[in-house]
Every structure is written in structure tokens, then in C-alpha cells.
Structure 1
Amino acid sequence: MPALPKVLVTGANGNLGHALLPQLFENYQVYTLDRRTLDPSLIPQVAGFFKGDLTNPAFVFDLFSTHEFSAVIHLAALLSRDCEDDPFYGHQVNVNGSVNLLEAASRTRFETKFIFISSVAVFGLDPQEKPFMDLTPVEPTGIPVTAYGCTKRYIETIGKFYSRDRLDFRALRLPTILSPNHRPVPGTSDFLQELVVQALSGLPALCHLRPDTHLPLITLPDAALAILHLLKTPRAHLHQTTYQVQSFSASVQEFIDKLAHHFPDFHPQFFPDSFRQSIIDSWPASLDDQAAATDLGWSPAHDLHSALWDYLVPATKDLLSR
């Protein structure tokens, strides 16, 4: 029996890693790389774990000189709020760390698939134009309004150059990820999970965005599914290097109305935060994922109703009961 292909997953300790590794386990030898020790719950699903820093080129190049990976799934990144607080460190991790990986993977003696997880934050739309746009092109317009978006946009672009040689670069642009697997923190788009927690707990509900704010969303299982589709699709079937996906798009008011239907005492007060609002206003209201459907066979499992009642609400209820 031939050996299973080796896949390196960076940043596996995060939410996406927890959702993805169980699905990789049966068909790949999974190796993970993180600055922190691997979560014990993930250890049975991996063939090996490397603890190290992607910003250290010597560590990265040594890893690729001693191990052969058929694919790299690059999840590791400094997230949006941390990038805004420390843009220099955000650049070190998200740009320099990613380029170290790209360069090391490109120097191997065979072609390596490189899956880069990008973000809707690469867009920099003019809010005045947004009402006239139903869907957006794959190529982002405008300048990202956050340091995080700038770092993601750069790697999407430089990855195309690496893909000309021995690297099969593929980027997946994700919108806001809906996940119950962590208690919400004050971030750009964590407000939706905050609303679910508030509805379940009966706490006074606050929303820091306008009710008419419309944005693309994806559930954590759908995000993991999209990564698998991108990983498994033969290169000959791809017509571009960057794909974007969503489970659905919805307004804040639509999200609240769905919750209020089952929680009649749920009546959030709106106190828009100008900083958060300006960031999300620069994003498209919806992502055109037709290219992913055509080339990758992508089809989301969730819509707004099933995302809430089959996934977010029951899983969050379980989380809060622990």
C-alpha cells in the first residue's frame, strides 16, 4: 500500500485547525507547525508536530530540507485586531513568515501544493459604491483599510509569482467565520457570536454595527470543507490562483430577526462602533463564489437558518453549559 501524502498544516491550534485536522486524518499524513505545543486533543490525528517560529528563516528552511511535504496548508497568521495593535509584528508574521514558507516550499525537488488562507479583508471598497454592488469580482478593488488586509493582499499577489515555477500556489479567500468553539472576544466581526451568546443567556444585548450592515459569512465546517476542496482539486482544473467562498450573506438585522423568532425577549440595542463599522463597510456585501463552484465543486452545507439552528445555537448552548 503506498504511503499517504504528507501535509504540513501551520497554525493548527486555531479554530480552523481543529475543524480541518479530523478531516485530513484518514487520507494524509498530517504534520503540524505552531509556536505553541499542539493541543492534546489533536495529537491522535497527526503524524508529527514541529514547534517553531515561521519568522525564523533558518528554522523554516531546515524543516523543508529534512522533510518532504506534498502540500502545505498555511493557516497561521496574526489576526485582525492584533495586526492593528502592532502592524510591525503583523508584517513579520503574516508577510515575512509566509514568504519564508513560500520560498522554502519552492526550493524542494518536486512541485508542492501551497494552500494560503486569505480574507475578505483584502477588499477596500468605497462605502458609497457598495449599495450598487450585488456581487464582487475575484480581483479585489480599492486599498485594504486594515494592516491585516494589506498583509493578506500581498501574499495573494506574491503567491502568483511563486506559482510560475515549482510551487502550486492556491489562495482561499474566506469571509467572517461563524464558530461556537470559543467564547467571543471584542474583534471586528465577533459581534455575531456575541449576539448568539446574549440570546441564549438572556443578557442585555448590544450590537456595535448598524442593523443594515450586510456581509458575507461562512460557518467553520463550511470553511474546512472549502479548504479540502481546494486541496484535492487537480491543478489542471484550476483557472485562477485565488478563490473565494461563502456559506451565505446576510444583514445584521436578518441575523437578529432569525434569533428573535426563537428568543422573543431578544431585543438588541444598537451602538455602532465607528472603527468596526468602517472596516466592515469596506468589505463586499457578498462574495461571488461561482468560480469555486465551477472549478472546485464547492457547495456550502449551511444557509442562515441551518447555520443558526443546526450549528451555532446548539453548539454555543453546549459551550455555555460546560
Structure 2
Amino acid sequence: MRIVITGGFGFLGRQVADALLTTRTFRGAPIGRLVLADRAVPSGPSSDRPAADPLVDIVRGDVIDRLDELFARPVDVLIHLASAVSAECEADFDLGMSANVDTTRAVLEAARAQSAAGGPTPRMLFSSSVAVYGSDPALPLPPVVSEATLPTPRSSYGVQKLVCEQLIADYTRRGFVDGRVARLMTVSVRPGKPNAAASGFLSGIIREPLAGLPATCPVRPDLRVALASPRRTVEGILRIAEAERGAGPGFLDGGLPVNLPALTVSVADMLDTLRRVAGDAVADRVTIAPDPGVEAIVGSWPADFDNARATALGLEPDPDVASVVRQYVADHADAVVADAAAARADRPMPID
């Protein structure tokens, strides 16, 4: 079995690859090769997993320019994570259209050509986003959103993700691919440096203070958001990718996308939890400075979700913000400074 991950060296790509390399199987079958495709690939000798794993092949460059190489041998599973993110798509329309819509269409055409030539029909997992939803003044969102809610995105990124969802649905209907779509909540807490996502502050207001750095919160504290930790997000991606089609618990019922389970919290909840578990000195590193542009994008996304479809696949949301913080410091303890040591996973953290 040959599996290709686009965006394979992005944060989620590496996490998904690491999960697959831990089991070395997909749906119980051994993985023959795991191909990580990305334009940003670690250079020089590396012992860092997954790059150094003997099961891994690396394809460097823009995905749209490397499709011949990716499909030079049959692709059984394609996990398409490569994407431009929300704020950069709003700032640069052409970038978003090229990186999101054009690249996804090209990937679908390569998969279709493989099927037409008598090769396997690829199973394709596409990472979409909660940004496909938006509150249109004429069509306000219901109090609780499900996959049956009409998507009315209010950002270019959301529109681009929705276009890709519909393309995958039609290619699947026509039998060109076996497509499935995971709509991701905002992933928090992401490690490393801030990215250009409008929702990036939802990691930054936890990550930076724990690292001894100042952070800016560009939205009002009462704004409610839908979050998922990295572990729950990776679990959801792989569960949806592996699920068989059919009715009943554990099966992928119908062709609708699956909203990954959401932990609904306010930004104030996040800041209060940081203060409770890491102390005043850490929490005081966050400054509230609303940015109307960021607030317009993030505030257009729903916060309350019906998780029934994900639950049927055995997926559950994170229980609370404290568990999300614990996960971050357990996985990235070297990024937490001494005055935030109370937040470390190996020491008790107060919950109430």
C-alpha cells in the first residue's frame, strides 16, 4: 500500500505521518511506502522522524508541479493537507485560488487519470474547515450547526474549501476517487512559530505566554470558538480516512463531510484556564487588542456543533481547555519556561 500525504511536512502532515509510522498499517494492511510531499522539506541529514524513517519517500516542491512524480507509482491513499491558510487567502486572492482550488483540482485529475488507466481508485481524504460556514445576514446560522447546515462562507478561504468539497463530492459520485472530507475545527495548541491563519492567535495566547513571550489577542474575550487539540484532530483525520462506507456505528454513512468534534469555549475561558494552571505572571503576558479584520473572519465561524456524525465514528471532543494545555506541555515541554512549570503535565494542575 502506497500512501501520499500532501503538506507532509506541515504541522498536521508530520503528526499524521508519525501516527501512521507508529502503526505502520492502514485499515490493518501494512504500508509499503509513505510519501511526504511538501515544498518546505527539512534539508541536509536528519534523524528527525518521519523524514529519516526507511518507509518514507520525500517529494520536494509545489504539489501541482510534482504530480507526475507522486503518481509515477500507484497511489492507494491520498491525504490532501496542503493548503494556504485563512488570513493569507484573504490578503492574496490569487494565492488562495492557486494553492487551494487549482492544486486540489489538479490532484483530483491525477487520481482520475490513474483510475482511468486501470490503476486503483485512490481513497482521498481532504482537510476542509469550519470556515465553510458563515453567518449571512439573510441566512443566519442556527444555534447549533451540523453537516446539514447550509455553508455560506464569509471569507475567500472558506469559499475555496467549499469549492474543493464539492469537487471531491462529484469526483466521488462519478467513481473517479473514493473521497471523504474532514472539516477541521481550529487546532489549538499548535507548537512553533505563528502562522498566517486568522485563528492562529488561539494557539498563540497559550503557546507564547508559556514560552515567556508576550501575546496579543485580536478578538474580544467573550467571542466563542470551536477548538480541537492536535491529537484529536489527527485521530479524526485518520478515522475518517480509514472508515468503510455503510450505515451504523463506525461506518461512513453517506457522502456528506464530517465535522470533527468541537470543544466550544470562549476566549475568556482560555485565558482564565491559562491563569489558573500557569499563574498570573504567565497569563499577564497576553494583551487584548481587537483587530476588526481578524474578528470579522473568526467571528463569522460557528462555535456550537452537533457532533453526532463524528460520534458515530467513535470520535469525541476534548473534554476541556485544561486538557488541551496539558497535552501541549506534555508534547512540547522544552517550549515551556520555568515560571510556567505549574502547567507541566507531570505536576498536578488545579481544575476548579
User: In the aligned structure 2, how far is the partner of 1:76 from the partner of 1:133?
Assistant: 31
Structure 1 unmatched runs, 5+: none
User: Could you tell me which of 28, 31, 35 is aligned with 2:39?
Assistant: 35
CA positional deviation for 1:62: 5.7
Structure 1, 146-155 or 228-237: larger mean CA deviation: 228-237
Tell me the residue number matched to 2:295.
277
Deviation per CA, 1:95-152: give whole Å up to 9, x if none.
Answer: 111111111112323221100000111112147987x844202145353222111110
The 8 Å contact of residues 219 and 290 in structure 2, kept in 1 or not, is answered as yes
Alignment equivalent of 1:239, drawn from 249, 253, 271: 253
Q: Which amino acid aligns with 2:20?
A: L
Q: Deviations over 1:7-41 (max 9, x none)?
A: 11001110001211111121123111112335742
Question: Do the aligned partners of 2:4 and 2:70 also contact (CA within 8 Å) in 1?
Answer: no
The residue type equivalent to 2:131 in the other structure is A
Q: Relative to structure 1, is the Cα distance of residues 89 and 184 closer, same or farther in structure 2, using a 3 angstrom cutoff?
A: closer
1:121 is aligned to 2:119: no
258-267 or 7-16, larger mean C-alpha shift? 258-267
* Corresponding pairs, count: 312
User: Which amino acid in the other structure matches residue 6 of structure 1?
Assistant: R
- 1:297 and 2:314 aligned: yes
Matched to 2:41, the amino acid is: T
Q: Is the 8 A contact 2:185 2:262 kept in 1?
A: no
Aligned to 1:48: 57
What does the per-residue CA deviation read over 1:226-257, in whole Å, with 9 as the maximum and x for residues that have no partner? 11101211123322331011341100111111
Identity of aligned residues (%): 28
Please, which of 192, 207, 222 is the counterpart of residue 212 of structure 1? 222
When structure 1 is superposed on structure 2, of 280-289 and 204-213 the one drifting more is: 204-213
Secondary structure of the 1:254 match is: helix
- Indicate the residue corresponding to 1:20 in structure 2: 16
Runs of 4+ with deviation above 6 angstroms: 127-130
Q: 2:80 — aligned with what?
A: 74
Question: What residue is the counterpart of 1:258 in the other structure?
Answer: 273
After superposition, give the CA deviation of every residue in 1:190-248 in whole Å (9 maximum; x if it has no partner): 22222224543565654211111001101111111111101211123322331011341
Q: CA RMSD in A?
A: 2.5
Residue in structure 2 matched with residue 6 of structure 1 by the alignment: 2
Structure 1: how far apart are the matches of 2:148 and 2:84? 23
Q: Kindly indicate whether residue 109 of structure 2 is the aligned counterpart of residue 94 of structure 1.
A: no
Q: Indicate conservation of the 8 Å contact 2:240/2:252, yes or no.
A: no
Report the counterpart of residue 141 of structure 1 in structure 2.
150
More displaced stretch, 194-203 vs 116-125: 194-203
1:177 aligned residue: 187
- 1:36 counterpart letter in structure 2: A
User: Cα gap change, 1:301/1:97 in structure 2, threshold over 3 Å: closer, same or farther?
Assistant: same
Output the CA distance in 1 between the equivalents of 2:11 and 2:75: 23
TM-score w.r.t. structure 2 length?
0.80
The structural deviation recorded for 1:186 is 6.0
Distance 2:209 2:280 in 1: 9
Is the contact between residue 7 and residue 30 of structure 1 (CA under 8 Å) also seen in structure 2? yes
Aligned AA for 1:34? D
- Counterparts in 2 of 1:319 and 1:200: CA distance versus 1, 3 Å: closer
TM-score (norm 1): 0.87
> Contact conserved, 2:37 with 2:58, CA < 8 A, in 1?
yes
Q: 1:312 is matched with which residue: 315, 328, 340?
A: 328
* 3-state SS in 1 of match to 2:271: helix
